Amino acid sequence: MRSKLVLVLLVGVVGLGVSVVGGQEGSNGVDGYAPKRINKAIELLEADQPIYYTQVNGGGYEEGQALAQTWADYITYNLEHSPFDMSELRAFMQGLVDGGPTKSGHRTPTVIAVLPFGGINETVMWANYWMVEHLLGSGVHGVLLAHANSPEVARIMVQAARYPHVPAAEGIGEGLRGNGGQGFAARIWGVSNTEYQRMADVWPFNPDGEILLGLKIENRHALENAEASVAVPGIGFAEWGPGDMSLSYNVSRGGTTPQVLQDARDRVFTATKAAGIPFLNSMNADTVIPMIDEGVRIGSNPGPEVADMGRRHTDRQMPW
- CATH number (3.20.20.60, 3.90.1150.10, 3.60.21.10, 3.40.50.150) of 38-313 reads 3.20.20.60
| Cα 246 to Cα 227: distance, rounded to the nearest angstrom | 20
* pLDDT at site 33: 92
Mean pLDDT of 3-29: 45
Cβ atoms of 290 and 42 within 8 Å: the answer is: no
Please report, rounded to a whole number, the percentage of residues in the chain having pLDDT higher than 70: 92
For residue range 105-120, what is the model confidence (pLDDT) as tens digits?
Answer: 999 999 999 999 999 9
Q: What is the pLDDT of residue 256?
A: 87
Side-chain half-sphere exposure of 189, counting CA atoms within 13 A: 32
114-163 pLDDT per residue, tens = 999 999 999 999 999 999 999 999 999 999 999 999 999 999 999 999 99
In 139-203, beta strands by DSSP E: 142-146, 202-203
Which whole-number Å values give the CA distances from 47 to 41, 53, 209, in the listed order? 10, 17, 15
- Closest by CA to 269, choosing from 258, 280, 261, 260, is 280
- Tell me the average pLDDT across 175-195: 97
| Helix (H) or strand (E) segment spanning residue 12 | helix 2-16
Of 108-122, 153-167, 183-197, 245-259, the least confident: 245-259
Share of the chain above pLDDT 90, in %: 88
Q: What is the mean pLDDT of residues 15-40?
A: 70
- Which pLDDT does position 2 carry in this prediction? 38
The pLDDT confidence band at residue 18, using thresholds 50, 70 and 90, is: very low
Would the pLDDT of 21 be above 70?
no
Over residues 47-64, mean pLDDT: 97
Q: What is the mean pLDDT of residues 286-304?
A: 96
CB neighbours of 164 closer than 8 A, spacing ≥ 6? 174, 175, 176, 177
End-to-end C-alpha distance for the chain, whole angstroms: 42
- The pLDDT mean for the chain works out to 92
Asked whether the predicted pLDDT for residue 98 surpasses 90, the reply is yes
Question: What are the two backbone dihedrals, phi and then psi, of residue 253, each rounded to the nearest 5 degrees?
Answer: -90, 0
Q: Is the pLDDT of residue 198 over 50?
A: yes
Q: Identify the pLDDT of residue 3.
A: 40
pLDDT recorded at residue 220 = 98
